A and B are shown apart, each in its own frame.
Chain A
Amino acid sequence: MDTKVLRQINTIQAVNMALIDAMRGNSDVIVLGEDVADPEGGGIAGVTRGLSTRFGDSRVRSTPISEQAIIGAAIGAAMAGLRPVAEIMVMDFTAVTMDMIVNHAAKLRFMSGGQTKLPLTIRTAAGAGRGQGGQHSDYYEAWFAHVPGLKVIAPSSPADAYGLLLSCIDDDDPCIFIENMATYSLQGNAPERGVSIPLGKANCLREGTDVTVIGYSRVIHEIMTAANQLSSEGISIEVIDIRTIVPLDIETILLSVAKTGRAVIVHEAMRNCGVGAEIAAQIHDHLFETLKAPVKRVTSAPCPVPFAKVLETAFLPSIEIIETTIRELLKPR
């Protein structure tokens, strides 16, 4: 697709553009995953559409439904010097290939004393809100963030998806790149072609003085809506999109919370042992004396993702809950 002249694009187009640009610039970049080639539709959401036609079916391969074999092949190819981008269709399916990701991709550089290089990107789609129930909707970023050797990336906008994916493909470590399925079609500003966004740099989306709200991936949209609405109540909110969970830009978070004295962390994954717990702990470690209130978390409910629309909606962290949490935080103590 010709996206050169588009000012607004969606994440499907942005990821597609990043893959095209990476593959055009480097013949070592290959793409493999279920249904990714054009005869199979170029991915279930069309993210890889056009790639096999343009770059050939040696470099763009639809695979059997064999997640262990997909990631194993990507690991071996990366060890031999290629830069594979493997797609695991839905994040829940990463559970099927956890051994390859956790015991191999993450550990081989260290266990080989630095000999093994793994320039490997695993793209996967996550998120509830589409009525897919408990096995096609999950966010497992905390699992991967817990494993040394992996990088974990979760963009919230098309432009970030483009720039961060370029960085992942160019990175010499295995990167887990998480796309949100529910916002795949949401339009955003088009990125500048060829310009990557470094991993580990948070993005301050809105400046404020009363509360810092920290998030990543889809919930950034809910956070921004809440922040805009609360500004009419005279509440000034700073919004930080961390963009990458590993490496984590803790400096940007701490600078902001040092200023506001209050922090709320929002993510779609459930609360217990989630990314919010880690960020909260780091804030408490560094800013205990300056905090005006305990750090709060807004997450989904502690249950598998439910099917019924009414349950699924209630499961997700809503704009209302984000607003209520912020108001509670600002009440005189």
Chain B
Amino acid sequence: MKRDGVMPKIPATDTLLKIYKSMMLIRLTDERICQSIKDGEMAVNYYSARGQEAIPASISALLNPDDYICTIYRGMHDMLAKGLPLKLFWAELAGKMTGVCKGKGGPMHMTHIDSGVMLTTGIVGASLPIANGLALAAQVRGENKVAVAYFGDGASNIGAFHEALNMGAVWKLPVVYVCQNNGYAEHTAYAKGTSVANIAQRAAAYNIPGITVDGNDPLAIFDVAQDALARARAGLGPTLIEAKTFRFCGHKLGDNDHYMPSGQKAYAMLKDPIPLYRSWLTVAKHATQDELAAIDNKIKIQIDEARDFALQSPDPHLDELFKDVYAVAI
């Protein structure tokens, strides 16, 4: 099922601006990270999510603080949208003691239980079975919580995806599977590695709703996610959402796009969700240019503070090697 061309219901202005703030926090953080890496302030393998901001920003506007997300190595947008504190994020990126995981996880393995960021995995496909388990706990305990599993298009070709969708469907778990289809699995183009035109088609094999949505359109994503989350909370089981988007910085920062047809990225960037949404917010009179600029400036200050905090923070103590391996050291 596709929702192209359907005008979605429009949320209230404060929700629209919440989504905007979240998108801008992600975009401006991403830009600052790339600058920091280029300037040699941090040495980190970085998988930019630039271009995919609208997806978690819209979905998180519908999540409660105690709802769960599981994300992947390209997941900074998902975790920031869910509320992982910016300073803790930056310090972890820099590998510092003050990081959210004390510098022991790094960008590919961030967790912040307090904001519901339960898992960031570097293993393709692994976010789905674990999100099922979080949803299972909510179901067993009768809690009104949902789990969202984020993953890329490449993950829909690994066994864990299929096992998880089947189990989630059989048990009617309160989980939403969100595929961020950015057109490439590492360097391999979507169609070269995937048998279906739309990943949402695969939902049919597991008898759950599957829906393809424009991943650059916050209103459409919000609309689709609202239905999926309501369904999950009502005990009706999972939904597979496929949000079609594009990654603007390749697989890994420094990627030279040699595997992409000439002009493909530039064409995709015409649909950059940030300027499109900005423009719509002003045209539809939800905010003025000045109001949006004020939001941007506030976020930039927060980012500079978080970056400074990270760079000035101490390295982890070496005894951290022996801590947190077990609950009590053995």
Please give the residue numbers on chain A whose beta carbons come within 8 Å of chain B beta carbons, in ascending order.
30, 58-59, 61, 63-64, 66, 68-69, 71-82, 84, 99-100, 103-104, 107-117, 148-149, 151, 171-173, 200, 246-247
Is B140 in contact with A72, judged by CB distance below 8 angstroms?
Answer: no
A82 CB to nearest B CB, Å? 5
Report Cα–Cα, A114/B113, bound state, in Å.
11
Is B327 in contact with A64, judged by CB distance below 8 angstroms?
Answer: no
Is B130 in contact with A72, judged by CB distance below 8 angstroms?
Answer: yes
- Identify B326's interface contact among A72, A109, A115, CB under 8 A: A109
Q: Which residues of A contact B170 (CB under 8 A)?
A: 64
Is B171 an interface residue when CB atoms closer than 8 A count as contact? Answer: yes
Report Cα–Cα, A103/B119, bound state, in Å.
12
Q: Which residues of A contact B128 (CB under 8 A)?
A: 72
How many Cβ-Cβ contacts under 8 Å join chain A to chain B?
Answer: 151
Is A112 in contact with B111, judged by CB distance below 8 angstroms?
Answer: yes
Q: Which residues of A contact B135 (CB under 8 A)?
A: 76
Given contacts A71-B129, A72-B164, 16 further A-B contacts (CB under 8 A): A58-B139, A59-B140, A64-B170, A68-B159, A69-B167, A72-B130, A75-B130, A76-B118, A76-B129, A99-B126, A109-B324, A111-B104, A112-B104, A113-B111, A117-B327, A173-B327
B323 CB to nearest A CB, Å? 7
Is B327 in contact with A113, judged by CB distance below 8 angstroms?
Answer: no
Is A114 in contact with B102, judged by CB distance below 8 angstroms?
Answer: yes
A62 CB to nearest B CB, Å? 10
Given contacts A82-B140, A111-B111, contact A69 B164 (CB under 8 A): yes
Is B79 an interface residue when CB atoms closer than 8 A count as contact? Answer: no
Is A76 in contact with B131, judged by CB distance below 8 angstroms?
Answer: yes
B132 CB to nearest A CB, Å? 5
Given contacts A69-B129, A72-B132, A79-B133, contact A109 B164 (CB under 8 A): no
B314 CB to nearest A CB, Å? 14
Nearest A residue to B171 by beta-carbon distance? A61
Is B112 an interface residue when CB atoms closer than 8 A count as contact? Answer: yes
Q: Which residues of A contact B102 (CB under 8 A)?
A: 113-114
Given contacts A99-B126, A108-B119, contact A77 B140 (CB under 8 A): yes
Is B147 an interface residue when CB atoms closer than 8 A count as contact? Answer: yes
Q: Which residues of B contact A112 (CB under 8 A)?
A: 101, 104-105, 109, 111, 113, 324
Q: Which residues of B contact A108 (CB under 8 A)?
A: 111, 119
Given contacts A72-B130, A108-B111, A113-B100, contact A79 B159 (CB under 8 A): no
Is B57 an interface residue when CB atoms closer than 8 A count as contact? Answer: no
Is B326 in contact with A111, judged by CB distance below 8 angstroms?
Answer: no
Is B181 an interface residue when CB atoms closer than 8 A count as contact? Answer: no
Is B324 in contact with A110, judged by CB distance below 8 angstroms?
Answer: yes
Report Cα–Cα, A80/B147, bound state, in Å.
11
Is B111 in contact with A74, judged by CB distance below 8 angstroms?
Answer: no
A214 CB to nearest B CB, Å? 19
Is A68 in contact with B160, judged by CB distance below 8 angstroms?
Answer: yes
Nearest A residue to B321 by beta-carbon distance? A110
Is B126 in contact with A113, judged by CB distance below 8 angstroms?
Answer: no
Report Cα–Cα, A246/B101, bound state, in Å.
25
Is B326 in contact with A173, judged by CB distance below 8 angstroms?
Answer: yes
Is A81 in contact with B111, judged by CB distance below 8 angstroms?
Answer: no
Counting chain A CB atoms within 10 Å of each CB, the highest count among B101, B123, B147, B167 belongs to B167
Given contacts A72-B129, A72-B160, contact A149 B140 (CB under 8 A): no
B112 CB to nearest A CB, Å? 7
B284 CB to nearest A CB, Å? 40
B90 CB to nearest A CB, Å? 15
Report Cα–Cα, A112/B99, bound state, in Å.
10
Nearest A residue to B326 by beta-carbon distance? A173
Q: Which residues of B contact A200 (CB under 8 A)?
A: 330
Is B136 an interface residue when CB atoms closer than 8 A count as contact? Answer: yes
Is B137 an interface residue when CB atoms closer than 8 A count as contact? Answer: yes
Report Cα–Cα, A82/B104, bound state, in Å.
25
B115 CB to nearest A CB, Å? 11
Q: Which residues of A contact B131 (CB under 8 A)?
A: 76
Is B325 an interface residue when CB atoms closer than 8 A count as contact? Answer: yes
Is A99 in contact with B123, judged by CB distance below 8 angstroms?
Answer: yes
- Identify B325's interface contact among A77, A82, A109, CB under 8 A: A109
B75 CB to nearest A CB, Å? 14
What are 11 A-B pairs at a CB distance below 8 A?
A69-B163, A73-B130, A79-B118, A79-B119, A79-B137, A99-B160, A100-B129, A103-B122, A111-B111, A113-B324, A247-B330
Report Cα–Cα, A117/B330, bound state, in Å.
16
Q: Which residues of B contact A58 (CB under 8 A)?
A: 139-140
Is A115 in contact with B113, judged by CB distance below 8 angstroms?
Answer: yes
Is A111 in contact with B133, judged by CB distance below 8 angstroms?
Answer: no
Report Cα–Cα, A170/B75, bound state, in Å.
33
B272 CB to nearest A CB, Å? 33
Is B36 an interface residue when CB atoms closer than 8 A count as contact? Answer: no
Report Cα–Cα, A78/B326, bound state, in Å.
15
Report Cα–Cα, A117/B325, bound state, in Å.
11
Report Cα–Cα, A116/B114, bound state, in Å.
11
Is A116 in contact with B111, judged by CB distance below 8 angstroms?
Answer: yes
Q: Which residues of B contact A75 (CB under 8 A)?
A: 129-130, 133
Is A66 in contact with B109, judged by CB distance below 8 angstroms?
Answer: no
Which residues of chain B from 163 to 195 have any CB-CB distance to chain A below 8 Å in the complex? 163-164, 166-167, 170-171
Report Cα–Cα, A80/B323, bound state, in Å.
22
Q: Which residues of B contact A103 (CB under 8 A)?
A: 121-123, 126
Report Cα–Cα, A322/B63, bound state, in Å.
62
Report Cα–Cα, A82/B324, bound state, in Å.
20
Is A80 in contact with B101, judged by CB distance below 8 angstroms?
Answer: no
Q: Which residues of B contact A80 (CB under 8 A)?
A: 68, 118, 133-134, 137-138
Is A77 in contact with B129, judged by CB distance below 8 angstroms?
Answer: no
A196 CB to nearest B CB, Å? 16
Nearest B residue to A115 by beta-carbon distance? B113
Given contacts A68-B159, A80-B68, contact A113 B130 (CB under 8 A): no
